[in-house]
Structure 1
Amino acid sequence: MKTVATIFFIIFIGTAASAQDRNETVKVETIEMGIVTETAASKKIERKQEVTRLYRFKNSRVKKELSFATKRNSPKMA
């Protein structure tokens, strides 16, 4: 009886859902934009001379920062 009621309920809901009349058409507002054919003048890039440091070894600062040791890293005698 439970299965018959379930099948009847599913068929009833399916029929009711398909019987809905939806003729609503959604209109979307569009925006017209023209094509720009003029180009702007290019800007001059100012070049600044900056001083950079040269290290003797590549990535020496990075290696120094990554090789830090804390007090808890040292071995202890038991």
Structure 2
Amino acid sequence: MKTIIATIFIIFLSFTAQAQNSTEEVKVETIEMSIVTETTYEVEANTTLEVARLYKFKNSRIKRDLNFLTKANKPKMA
């Protein structure tokens, strides 16, 4: 009995939700844009040299700063 009443209630709610009419019509302003048929590509040649550094040693400053250890990382005795 409870399931039959619940399904009738759900059907009643769905019909009332569909029966609501919204009378407002929203008008959207459209923008007309032309189609571009020609494309131009500009290539700039940069002759600057950039140097990338490779740190081979363990004691380098960058590796030491990136591999820091905190007190929470150290094992504790139980």
**TM (normalized to structure 2)?**
0.43
Of structures 1 and 2, the larger Rg is shown by 1
**TM (normalized to structure 1)?**
0.43
More RCO (CA 8 Å, sep 6+)? 2
